[in-house]
Amino acid sequence: MDDLRQAGYLVAIAGGLCALVLSAIVVIDLIGGVFYGAEFGYWALRRVATVSYIVAIIMLAFAGWQVARGRGFVDVMPQLLSGAGVLLAGGAVFEIFGVALLMRLFDIGEFRGIAYFDPTYVTLGAVGLLLWLLGRLMRRAIFMARELEEFL
């Protein structure tokens, strides 16, 4: 088995385990929060973006599985980068603006701002946008390379 396929299996297993562990943590947090009397609306709003992060990790694991099964690296990467980038950026933007505005709209919790500024979410959003852009650029580069191969 070549190195790329082995790396694909490793990414698939590691990504799957990470998604599973993160999902279990979210469920345990839900059970603990409801059991100890936390307001469900507040908990749900604070965890919505986590779902998009979990889906991005699942996309990574699926891409690793496709590479391990023999699908071309250049066929998998543009879709992975674009999809994961959109999910990461969308989750971060929702964490910054959506949670604060919805908490204010539904009068949940004590926070009354229009945005929750956290450098972590800003960084995650910027990385997500850059991944999306990189996926688009990679897709264009692959198209141009294939077009050049046809001429030669």
pLDDT by residue (tens digit) across 96-148? Answer: 888 878 877 777 766 667 677 778 888 999 999 999 999 999 999 999 998 98
User: Distance between CA atoms of 83 and 73, rounded to whole angstroms?
Assistant: 16
Nearest to 46 by CA among 58, 35, 33: 33
Task: Provide the domain count of the chain.
Answer: 1
pLDDT by residue (tens digit) across 36-49? Answer: 776 777 777 878 88
Report the pLDDT value the prediction gives residue 18, as an integer from 0 to 100: 96
Report the pLDDT value the prediction gives residue 44, as an integer from 0 to 100: 79
Q: What is the pTM of this model?
A: 0.84
Question: Is-contact 82 136, C-beta < 8 A?
Answer: yes
- 73 phi and psi, to 5 degrees? -60, -40
Report the pLDDT value the prediction gives residue 46, as an integer from 0 to 100: 79
Report the pLDDT value the prediction gives residue 112, as an integer from 0 to 100: 66
Residue 35 banded pLDDT, cuts 50, 70, 90: confident
Cβ neighbours of residue 41 closer than 8 Å, sequence gap 6 or more? 106, 108
pLDDT by residue (tens digit) across 1-18? Answer: 588 889 999 999 999 999
Question: Is-contact 135 78, C-beta < 8 A?
Answer: yes
Helix, coil or strand: residue 152:
coil
Nearest to 74 by CA among 149, 151, 152: 149
Report the pLDDT value the prediction gives residue 134, as an integer from 0 to 100: 95
Residue 49, judged by CB atoms within 10 A of its CB (0-12, 13-18, 19+), counts as buried
Question: Is-contact 98 48, C-beta < 8 A?
Answer: yes
Q: Which residue has the tokens 């999902």?
A: 23
